[in-house]
């Protein structure tokens, strides 16, 4: 064997050794990426930011314990501004560019309903932390929400006003989006079904500042209860202008409209006497951990919003640990979830992918958000 042949043979052997090392080197465990879509700017960020913070606390806790079967979990945070068009843009980016198997989001009903067909078509799991419009239950097989539908919460408000407060003539003021429209439809149906009358109905756009015309019409309509269902940022001008116009009427609303840190800092005294429905929570190890960690990080009280953000991440992580990143297996797993111990309480999904939970009544008394006692 001449020298040239030996050199060639040596090179071949070296290449073979390198290939063996490369091909048979144990694969490093990679990162599992999940999308996260929520309103992080704009009016609805009063909801979206606390949800994001709760999600981050859950993410940190999961990764500190070894992640998902040894894989680090990563959330790709995107801002959908609680807007349908933005929600669709975010979803397309997360699905087509980031190649995520699941999206946590969106928080608002309108973008959730807009994104649902895209999730269905691409077989990507969509798990909302707050969508509650009744249409969510028919949005698709891959679409889930951990917030109960308006049928339950809004129905409770209508029945309470009629049965317990003996109100008979109502007005409805609602945000002109899928969340507000869904609530308005349920309020109207349930209150009339009980025997009450809806004297006047008014809609408003997110970001509206002047409600005097609508409130004056409500004042002159002879109502004894006003239902307000919408966004938190509009509640301060609504309540301020109500007082300026001398509109003395019982107001019933929801916690997502009033029980936010931003509203509390604005002027919570405006809401004294307001009655509202609130997501029913229970105390457990997850809620205790989240409450302690959240306050240490942010020194805020953001009601249940951090809890639902924390819980959607826990649910996604549990699905990933049990069935991996196949979205079809993940959605089938979620349908089987019963009494999952989240920070917002035990969670179970029904056949439509919506959560089965209850609501309680609360009120604002002396600037404090407290349980309602008749």
| CATH code at position 159 | 3.40.50.2300
Predicted local distance difference test score (pLDDT) of residue 332: 97
Q: Are 106 and 37 in contact (CB under 8 A)?
A: yes
Residue 356 tokens read as 């089965």
167 shares a domain with 141: no
41 shares a domain with 112: yes
Predicted local distance difference test score (pLDDT) of residue 42: 87
End-to-end CA distance of the chain: 102
Report if residue 215 sits inside a domain. Answer: yes
> What range does the domain containing 185 cover?
151-280+360-371
Residue 123 tokens read as 């077989």
* Cis, peptide link before residue 286, omega less than 30° from 0: no
Total domains in the fold of the chain: 2
103 shares a domain with 244: no
Give, for 34, the enclosing helix (H) or strand (E).
strand 31-38
| 298-299-301-307 Cα dihedral, nearest 10 degrees | 40
Report if residue 20 sits inside a domain. Answer: no
Report if residue 5 sits inside a domain. Answer: no
Residue with token string 């002396």 = 366
Q: Are 156 and 257 in contact (CB under 8 A)?
A: no
Give, for 306, the enclosing helix (H) or strand (E).
helix 305-323
Report if residue 300 sits inside a domain. Answer: yes
Report if residue 24 sits inside a domain. Answer: no
Q: SS3 for 371?
A: strand
121 shares a domain with 60: yes
Residue 24 tokens read as 């048979």
140 shares a domain with 222: no
Residue 3: C-alpha distances to residues 9, 13, 14 (Å): 10, 15, 16
346 shares a domain with 258: no
Report if residue 63 sits inside a domain. Answer: yes
DSSP assignment of 311-332, as one string? HHHHHHHHHHHHHTT-HHHHHH
231 shares a domain with 294: no
Predicted local distance difference test score (pLDDT) of residue 29: 61
Residue 200 tokens read as 């006047």
365 shares a domain with 263: yes
196 shares a domain with 124: no
| Share of the chain residues as helix, strand and coil, in percent rounded to the nearest 5 | 50, 20, 30
Q: How far apart are CA 136 and CA 120, in angstroms?
A: 13
pLDDT tens, the chain, 374 aa long: 554 554 454 454 444 433 433 333 333 368 999 999 999 998 888 889 999 999 999 999 999 999 999 999 999 999 999 999 999 999 999 999 999 999 998 899 999 999 999 999 999 999 999 998 889 999 999 999 998 888 888 999 999 999 999 999 999 999 998 888 989 999 999 999 999 999 999 999 888 899 999 999 999 999 999 999 987 888 889 999 999 999 999 999 998 888 877 677 767 778 899 999 988 777 889 999 999 999 999 988 777 889 999 999 999 999 999 999 999 999 999 999 999 999 988 899 999 999 877 788 999 998 888 899 86
Report if residue 271 sits inside a domain. Answer: yes
321 shares a domain with 199: no
Q: How far apart are CA 106 and CA 36, in angstroms?
A: 8
Report if residue 1 sits inside a domain. Answer: no
125 shares a domain with 42: yes
Q: SS3 for 185?
A: helix
119 shares a domain with 78: yes
């Amino acid at each position: 064997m001449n020298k040239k042949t030996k050199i060639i043979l040596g090179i071949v052997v070296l290449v073979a050794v390198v290939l063996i090392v490369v091909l048979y080197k144990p694969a490093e465990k990679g990162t599992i990426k999940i999308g996260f879509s929520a309103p992080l700017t704009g009016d609805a960020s009063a909801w979206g930011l606390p949800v994001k913070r709760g999600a981050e606390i859950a993410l940190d806790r999961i990764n500190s314990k070894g992640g998902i079967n040894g894989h680090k979990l990563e959330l790709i945070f995107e801002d959908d501004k609680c807007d349908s068009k933005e929600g669709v843009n975010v979803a397309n980016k997360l699905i087509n560019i980031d190649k995520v198997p699941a999206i946590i989001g969106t928080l608002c009903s309108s973008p959730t309903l807009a994104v649902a067909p895209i999730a269905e078509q691409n077989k990507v799991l969509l798990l909302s932390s707050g969508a509650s419009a009744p249409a969510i239950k028919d949005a698709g097989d891959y679409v889930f929400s951990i917030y109960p539908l308006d049928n339950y919460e809004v129905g409770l408000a209508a029945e309470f006003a009629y049965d317990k407060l003996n109100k008979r003539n109502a007005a409805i003021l609602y945000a002109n989006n899928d969340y507000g429209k869904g609530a308005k439809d349920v309020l109207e149906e349930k209150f009339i079904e009980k025997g009450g009358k809806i004297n006047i109905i008014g809609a408003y756009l997110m970001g509206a500042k002047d409600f005097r015309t609508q409130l004056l019409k409500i004042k002159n309509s002879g109502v004894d209860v006003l239902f307000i269902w919408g966004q938190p940022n509009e509640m301060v001008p609504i309540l301020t202008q109500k007082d300026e116009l001398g509109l003395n009427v019982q107001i019933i609303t929801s916690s997502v409209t009033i029980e936010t840190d931003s509203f509390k800092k604005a002027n919570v005294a405006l809401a004294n006497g307001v009655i509202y429905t609130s997501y029913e929570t229970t105390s457990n190890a997850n809620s205790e951990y989240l409450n302690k960690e959240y306050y240490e990080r942010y020194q805020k009280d953001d009601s249940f919003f951090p809890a639902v953000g924390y819980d959607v991440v826990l649910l996604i992580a549990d699905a990933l640990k049990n069935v991996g990143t196949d979205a079809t297996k993940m959605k089938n797993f979620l349908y089987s979830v019963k009494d999952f111990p989240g920070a917002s309480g035990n969670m179970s999904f029904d056949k439509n992918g919506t959560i089965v939970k209850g609501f309680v009544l609360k009120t604002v008394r002396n600037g404090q958000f407290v349980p309602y006692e008749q």
